[in-house]
């Protein structure tokens, strides 16, 4: 008969106190980094902690403090886009960097359906996170209303029009879209269209507005192909639609780099050269921009920085500091390559 060794008993604060020859209260003050402990006792307790292998019970401490030491990252996108869109990954990494520096755990919450919305609303109401960073929120978003009702420390990446008094971090999508379109116009293109993605959120609608601003009287709504999401397939389908509407189109502003990558595949399929027949520009300067052939002219947005600043905003609120309700806008820049 094989005997399976039992699980090793977890060391407790009692074990540390016995080993160091001090009271449990003195050990507790050292563990919680509190004053009023002599240097000699502190050294003895630290040595005892090392010897008995004591690890503070964070769950119990958080229960007393009514803190979870966790911040949620809520992403309003299909699960597939969560993996396909490099910007989401960069936002995630930036947020996690700031949170880990403050000893907070990040919890990723993806919302694709009404069922997801209900599940996440219950999770937030249960107190499992101390605050949230919200990505890709739309107007009339029920999760936003839950956050308001709970008075949960929060920061949004992007700025839905009905956000009210909640902090956000973003970029000036409209100005950046206008700038890249003006640069495209400057190459001599005459029939310029746009594959306009995600018009149900501020990033998509603001980029379309910037495109229209740049063209002025030359703006032709028939040369705008709306598509639902920032995906390769939507970029390909949008480009096919533009070519069907106007075979003479010679310039395209794609609402994101992955949209531009899909558009390039449709142009190759139609026998059009880039940038010879059609000049194309994107938005993001993500990994897709250099993956494209030719490499993509685009707008560089600091996705990692957006995540980091949003997480820092949540942490400052958790420290009791006032939120920056006016919003934080980060800089963008045009990166000009060979696609236009």
> Is 4 part of any domain?
no
| Domain assignment of residue 338, yes or no | no
Lowest mean pLDDT among 63-67, 238-242, 258-262: 63-67
Give the number of C-alpha atoms closer than 13 A to the C-alpha of residue 37, restricted to the C-beta side.
21
In a domain, 247, yes or no: yes
pLDDT band for position 325 (cuts 50, 70, 90): confident
- In sequence order, what are the beta bridge partners of 106? 71
Q: Is the distance from CB of 11 to CB of 54 less than 8 angstroms?
A: yes
**Residue 155 · residue 315 · CB < 8 Å:** no
Tokens coding 273: 């050269």
Mean pLDDT value of segment 165-186: 96
Q: What domain range includes position 98?
A: 70-171+304-331
Binning pLDDT at 50, 70 and 90, where does residue 184 land? very high
Domain assignment of residue 339, yes or no: no
Q: Are residues 167 and 178 in the same domain?
A: no
pLDDT for 67 equals 65
Whether residue 1 lies inside any domain: the answer is: no
pLDDT over threshold 80, residue 189 = yes
Higher model confidence: residue 12 or residue 260? 260
Assess whether pLDDT exceeds 90 at residue 51. Answer: no
Tell me which of 184 and 200 has the higher pLDDT: 184
Please name which of 137, 86, 64, 118 lies closest in space to residue 287, comparing C-alpha atoms: 86
Residue 61 within any structural domain of the chain:
no
pLDDT, the chain, mean: 91
Work out the average pLDDT over 60-74: 71
Q: Is residue 216's pLDDT more than 90?
A: yes
Higher pLDDT, 24 or 304: 304
CATH number at residue 18: 1.10.260.40
Handedness of CA 142, 148, 153, 159 (dihedral sign): positive
The reply to whether 311 and 167 lie within a common domain is: yes
Does residue 60 carry a pLDDT above 70?
no
Q: Rounded to an integer, what distance in angstroms lies between the CA atom of residue 184 and that of residue 281?
A: 7
Residues 293-321 pLDDT 10s: 999 999 999 999 999 999 999 999 999 99
Average pLDDT over residues 158-185: 92
Dist. CA 25–CA 46, nearest whole Å: 14
Q: Do 180 and 166 share a domain, yes or no?
A: no
Q: Is residue 214 part of a domain?
A: yes
- If one counts the domains in the chain, the total is 3
Band of the pLDDT at 4, cuts 50, 70, 90?
very low
Amino acid 54: pLDDT? 82
Question: What is the Cα–Cα distance from 224 to 239, expressed in whole angstroms?
Answer: 10
Q: Is residue 117 located within the same domain as residue 77?
A: yes
Residue 63 lies in a domain: no
C-alpha to C-alpha distance for 307 and 157, rounded to whole angstroms: 7
Asked if residue 295 and residue 311 are part of one domain, the reply reads: no
The reply to whether 184 and 148 lie within a common domain is: no
- Same domain for 269 and 313, yes or no, is no
Rounded Cα distance between 58 and 67, Å, is: 10
Tokens, residue 35: 């004053």
- 79 vs 101: CA distance, rounded Å: 28
Alpha carbon distance 165, 181 (integer Å): 32
Q: Tell me the pLDDT band of 143, cut-offs 50, 70 and 90.
A: very high
| Residue 143 sits in the same domain as residue 209 | no
Average pLDDT over residues 265-289: 97
Considering the domain architecture, whether residues 293 and 312 belong to the same structural domain is answered as: no
Residue 28 in this model has a pLDDT that exceeds 90: no
Same domain, 191 and 257: yes
Band of residue 29 on the pLDDT scale cut at 50, 70, 90: confident
Residues 313 and 166 placed together within one structural domain of the fold: yes
The CATH number of the domain where 217 resides is what? 3.40.50.2300
Above pLDDT 70, what percent of the chain? Answer: 94
Q: Are residues 147 and 238 in the same domain?
A: no
């Amino acid at each position: 008969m094989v005997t399976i060794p039992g699980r090793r008993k977890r060391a407790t604060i009692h074990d540390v106190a016995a080993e160091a020859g001090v009271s449990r209260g003195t050990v507790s003050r050292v563990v919680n980094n509190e004053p009023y402990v002599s240097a000699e006792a502190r050294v003895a307790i630290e040595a005892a902690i090392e010897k008995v292998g004591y690890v503070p019970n964070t769950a119990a401490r958080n229960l007393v403090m009514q803190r979870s030491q966790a911040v949620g990252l809520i992403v309003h996108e299909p699960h597939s886009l969560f993996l396909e869109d490099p910007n989401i990954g960069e936002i995630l990494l930036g947020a996690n960097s700031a949170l880990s520096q403050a000893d907070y755990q990040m919890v990723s919450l993806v919302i694709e359906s009404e069922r997801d919305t209900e599940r996440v609303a219950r999770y937030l109401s249960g107190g499992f996170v101390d605050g949230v960073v919200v990505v890709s929120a739309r107007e009339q978003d029920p999760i936003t209303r839950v956050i308001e009702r709970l008075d949960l420390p929060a920061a949004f990446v992007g700025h839905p029009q009905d956000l009210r008094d909640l902090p956000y971090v973003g970029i000036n999508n409209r100005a950046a879209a206008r700038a890249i379109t003006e640069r495209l116009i400057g190459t001599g293109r005459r029939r310029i269209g746009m594959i306009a993605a995600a018009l149900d959120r501020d990033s998509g609608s603001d980029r379309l507005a910037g495109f229209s601003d740049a063209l002025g009287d030359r703006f032709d709504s028939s040369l705008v192909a709306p598509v639902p999401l920032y995906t390769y397939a939507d970029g390909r389908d949008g480009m096919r639609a533009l070519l069907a509407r106007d075979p003479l189109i010679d310039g395209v502003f794609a609402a994101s780099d992955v949209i531009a990558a899909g558009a390039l595949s449709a142009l190759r399929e139609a026998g059009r050269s880039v940038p010879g027949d059609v000049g194309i520009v994107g938005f993001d300067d993500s990994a897709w921009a250099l993956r494209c052939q030719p490499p993509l002219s685009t707008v560089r947005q600091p996705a990692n920085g957006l995540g980091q600043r949003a997480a820092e905003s949540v942490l400052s609120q958790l420290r009791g500091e006032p939120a920056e309700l006016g919003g934080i806008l980060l800089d963008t820049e045009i990166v000009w390559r060979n696609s236009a």
